[in-house]
Amino acid sequence: MKTITAYKCNKCGLVMYPYHDRCLNCKGRDFKEIAPTSKGKLLTYTVIEQLPWGMDERGRVLGVVEFDNGVKALGLIKDDAPRIGMKLKVNWEPVREMGGEEIFGLTFEKTK
């Protein structure tokens, strides 16, 4: 599955996403590219009723997920009853249309 690329500092081990040119902790410049694990838990979320221009939709749930390997990322939460701490599994799907083009990103659903 295609996914995001996160970065682990070779010097101090800090996991970062998105990319920084220097480590947020130790200023190191060498990183190992890592992929998030397939599962994680929901740290916080919101349900957006007023989306920006070009997005005709209501009740879009966005949340920050911490993957099992420490990567943290925002994504689209496909669940009507989200709660903090819930276990989620990740997918890579279209999240928005921009300029007639489908943009792919992280989506999450409840693990069984």
Partner 1 sequence: MRPVVVAGVGMIPFERRDEDSLMDMLATAGLNAMDDAGLGDRPVDSVYVGNMASGLFNHQVSVASALVDRLSLLPAAADRVENGPASGGSAIKNGFLAVASGFNDVVLVVGGEKMREVIGPKATDIVACMTHPEVEYIYGLTLPAMAGMFARLYMEKYGVTREHLAMVAIKNQTNGLLNPYAHIQMKITMEGILTHPQSHINSPVVADPIHLYDCCPVSDGAAAVLLTTEEIANKLKKPLVTIDGVGQATDTHTLQERSDPTDLKAVTLASEQAFKMAGIKPKDIDVAELHDAFTILEIAESEHAGFFPKGEGAKALERGETQIGGKLPINPSGGLKARGHPVGATGVAQVVELVWQLRGEAGERQVKGAANGFSLNFGGFGNNVLAFVLRRKS
Residue with tokens 């749930």: 61
Instruction: Lay out the site mask for partner 1 across 25-54 (x = CB under 8 A, - = otherwise).
Output: ------------------xxxxxxxxxxxx
Q: Output the CA torsion sign for 20, 23, 25, 27.
A: negative
Smaller CB separation from partner 1, 2 or 53: 53
What are the helix (H) ranges across 1-112? none
Smaller CB separation from partner 1, 52 or 112: 52
Smaller CB separation from partner 1, 38 or 70: 70
Judged by CB under 5 A, the residue of 9, 42, 76, 86 near Zn ion is 9
80 close to 26: Cβ distance less than 8 angstroms: no
